[in-house]
Structure 1
Amino acid sequence: MDEGMDEGMDEGQRLTTREAAERLGVKPETVYAYVSRGQLTSRRDPRGRGSTFDAEQVDALARRGGREPSAGGDALPRIRTGITLIETDRYYFRGVDATELARRFRYEEIAEWLWTGTLREGIGFDAPEALLVAARRAIGALPAHSGSTDRLRVAAIAAAVADPLRFDLSRDAVLTTARALIPTLVDALPVVEEPSRGTGRPVDRVDRVDRDGDDDGSLARRLWSRLTARPAGEPGVRALDMALSLLIDHDLAASTLAVRVAASARAHPYAVVSAGLGALEGPLHGSASGLAHRMLTEVLERGSAAAVVADHLRAGRPVPGLGHRLYPGRDPRAEALFTVLREVPGAGPVLTAAREVEATTARHAPLHANVDLALAVLSVTAGMPAEAGETVFAVARTAGWIAHALEEYGEQPLRLRPNGQYNGPRPPGDLPGAGRL
């Protein structure tokens, strides 16, 4: 039976899920995804027949282009890419299942695969001394309250200044820059001291030796020590490497589009990455794992997912870490990461909390856990700060940004320059202030 309208509402004021979906031109599942992202608010039908939506809000979303756009939307040309394909509930890097790549290979190896189409097993990335010194000095000048993503943006700019060859956009030069920039971003971040050795605050030094004595030199192991003071056991490092690998690219996300626009203007790779990092600064892209981290922490403290979910719904806030507009079913990145997190010591209660949040919310909306919730399980389990997921996202996505820049450098320059659709007053207009002495 279809959901009905609230009898107490004026006709046309509230829409059922089916009616909202029809106005937006999407599936009902996507309507709930808009709710999870805060683009729509829902209200339970007091007769228990589902959710209702404000018609004016739905129409406003439709006017803004709420329906799933084609690549590039109406304002931009269709952007051809051979990097990532998303189909139903799976995604692929250069035609190969991305989750299978993440299970079998390390982040650096998959980055090479994206850049060159060749898998170089065992490859590692090291930061050149000149770039690392410049990046660490710039980070050292930041205020104490600066976060990891603030430091990444500053490190990228400082590394660019230290590289006089940054304007060489030949393919080999860009690849050399990529292999140097990513480890510079990681190694420039301060290492978090163990509480027994200091205050527990970040210190400005580079420590590539794992506290367990097993140093494989991987970026995941080095990044671990920049995010938490806890020992980097093998299961934890494996989970972090899996997260980096799964997040390398995801088609034309907002930050990736910013990167391609910068590359279209022939910005050098450091500037391209800076453009991507700038897009991540917005609250709607890249930072959702921090909200999920705080939610899981509250669930563990209160011992009830239902109470925390209820608080979010009562306040009209979407439950973080659930739903994704590109995946009507389960987010394959989340499921792959959950699998390896089961092997991480101490992850059991956090995984249970995440699944309880998912199950509780499913009574209200058919939403599944997305990769932000899985990242939050990792950060909470490892004793990382709430912003750690955003840092992992930024470091991981840098490789994808470089891959898209390489593609864009091969296109006509400045092709991503749409014409504006002017909707201001028609000329001729009066000169402002005309008539005054």
Structure 2
Amino acid sequence: MRDQEPDPSHPGRRLSTKEAAELLGVKPETVYAYVSRGQLSSQRVPGGRGSTFDAQEVEVLARRNRRENGLSSGAISELSVRTRITLIDQDRYYFRGVDATELAARHSYEEIAEWLWTGRLRPGIAFTAPEATVAVARRAVGALPEHTGPVDRLRVAAIAAAAADPLRFDLSENAVLGTARTLIPTLVAALPPVRRGHRDTGPLAHRLWTRLTGWDADETSLQVLDTALGLLVDHDLAASTLAVRVAASARAHPYAAVSAGLGVIEGPLHGAASGLAHRLLLEVLDQGDAAPVIAEELRAGRRIPGLGHRLYPGEDPRARALFTLLEEMPRAAPGLAAARDIVTTTARHTPLQANVDLALAVLTTSCGMPATAGETIFAVARTAGWIAHALEEYGERPLRMRPSGHYVGPKPPQPLPE
């Protein structure tokens, strides 16, 4: 006999994890991810290890997911964007069909950027910026208040670089590629170095290191940073990337498109998430035990940063790749142990795996970097991906990124307000 489908209309009905997953059309692990993000509430089964969920709450979430995915109106085509850049499939992701983690393990950030932009590898390429452009960007950034965050500095640097480029409105492929190869090193050069005596030479990761920490860099640390940049180059249509494509659809020049991405990335649910994981990791390191720290987070109703990802039912492949490299850094050992403690402790409440924000937190805490360092790494890395998406969008019909609003306000005509 076939199991009956759960009836969400029955008041007070509780669903098992399996039933909730079936109704939502997701895996059981994703149901717990919804709980961690505050989109579902759960109750422990008395005397058991499982959880139950309010049927009506699950149905509301299922309807919202269907609506957001365009399933209720058959408008999937309006919400999907054809792209040749990144594919996310199960617990792996690919850049132009090539495993992204393998690319990052074997090639520099600049080489991966070229692969995204052109589909060709250019071994040994290093991005450089004109001194005049860097000088303009540095002056603009230098005028900001001392407490200014890194993304604000990057945004101002991008605007200053645009103002210094009279050819910025040339959207031909070669022109945009030229802009990309100078804009990214300009952004890095415009960030103030942590200590004097730095050198703006060598691979981009080496130059960025001096903007993140005053500690001396060894080859292993620089390799981890360069790999982190390569892993974070792109991740399909994340919120900031969608903003970039909207700007490019309106034929905004690449500096403006990157500025749109930087405006979105600052949210705590996007680029700034690594800073929250950094602070959590420091607290666990300070107390020597994750249990009281996690307990306090849960008591306050906060989600645990650095855990779970809506696109990966298992471990984030970017986190897995970075953790493997971090194991080769002796000074990262305490941070790695604290990260494992966080994952193990939280698993008693909800089975979520580590994401890239937790891996970045291990890197930044282990190398004397501030909590904002992960956000800086994320923004610099993702700039190359944004340029790739802008290039792709420039080849599409202009202004196609124009969804229709679904009006739910008062039915017209209404009387004029007094």
TM over 0.5: yes
Shift of 1:15: 4.1
The alignment's TM-score, normalised by the length of structure 1, stands at 0.88
Are positions 1:299 and 2:299 aligned together? no
Counterpart in the other structure of 2:189: 187
* Contact residue 85 and residue 251 of structure 1 kept, 8 A: yes
State the identity %. Answer: 71
Shift of 1:141: 1.1
Counterpart in the other structure of 2:394: 409
Q: 1:60 to 1:162 in 2, by over 3 A?
A: farther
* Contact residue 284 and residue 338 of structure 2 kept, 8 A: yes
* Contact residue 11 and residue 56 of structure 2 kept, 8 A: no
Shift of 1:70: 7.6
Matches within 5 A, 1:82-231: 82-193=84-195, 207-208=198-199, 217-231=202-216
Letter in 1 for 2:128: D
Letter in 2 for 1:207: H
Counterpart in the other structure of 1:51: 51
Letter in 1 for 2:254: P
> How far apart are the structure 2 equivalents of 1:73 and 1:364?
37
Letter in 1 for 2:365: V
SS, match of residue 87 in structure 2: strand
> How far apart are the structure 2 equivalents of 1:264 and 1:222?
33
Point out the more displaced range, 54-63 or 350-359: 54-63
Q: 1:421 to 1:101 in 2, by over 3 A?
A: same
SS, match of residue 186 in structure 2: helix
Deviations 1:156-183 (A, max 9, x none): 1111111111000000000000000000
Letter in 2 for 1:178: A
* Contact residue 335 and residue 365 of structure 2 kept, 8 A: yes
Cα root mean square deviation, aligned: 2.3
Point out the more displaced range, 111-120 or 61-70: 61-70
Point out the more displaced range, 14-23 or 227-236: 14-23
Deviations 1:13-35 (A, max 9, x none): 65432343234332211111223
* Contact residue 259 and residue 405 of structure 1 kept, 8 A: yes
Counterpart in the other structure of 2:356: 371
Counterpart in the other structure of 1:321: 306
Letter in 1 for 2:166: P
Letter in 2 for 1:154: V
* Contact residue 70 and residue 79 of structure 2 kept, 8 A: no
> How far apart are the structure 1 equivalents of 2:268 and 2:232?
18
> How far apart are the structure 2 equivalents of 1:137 and 1:41?
50
Greater fraction of residues in helix: 2
Deviations 1:176-205 (A, max 9, x none): 000000000101000002xxxxxxxxxxx7
* Contact residue 227 and residue 385 of structure 1 kept, 8 A: yes
Are positions 1:351 and 2:336 aligned together? yes
Counterpart in the other structure of 1:264: 249
Structure 1 moving runs of 4+ over 4 Å: 54-57, 70-75
Counterpart in the other structure of 1:395: 380
Q: 1:63 to 1:170 in 2, by over 3 A?
A: same
> How far apart are the structure 1 equivalents of 2:151 and 2:265?
9
> How far apart are the structure 2 equivalents of 1:302 and 1:123?
44
Shift of 1:45: 3.4
> How far apart are the structure 2 equivalents of 1:109 and 1:73?
37
> How far apart are the structure 1 equivalents of 2:46 and 2:190?
55
Deviations 1:280-304 (A, max 9, x none): 1222111111111111101110010
> How far apart are the structure 2 equivalents of 1:261 and 1:336?
31
Structure 1 runs not aligned, ≥5 long: 1-9, 194-204, 210-214
> How far apart are the structure 2 equivalents of 1:73 and 1:401?
26
Q: 1:136 to 1:57 in 2, by over 3 A?
A: farther
Matches within 5 A, 1:414-433: 414-433=399-418
Letter in 2 for 1:83: I
Shift of 1:111: 0.3
> How far apart are the structure 2 equivalents of 1:37 and 1:394?
23
Shift of 1:413: 0.5
The alignment's TM-score, normalised by the length of structure 2, stands at 0.92
Shift of 1:42: 3.5
> How far apart are the structure 2 equivalents of 1:241 and 1:410?
30
Deviations 1:357-406 (A, max 9, x none): 11111222221111111000000001111111111111000000000111
Counterpart in the other structure of 2:230: 245
Letter in 2 for 1:162: A
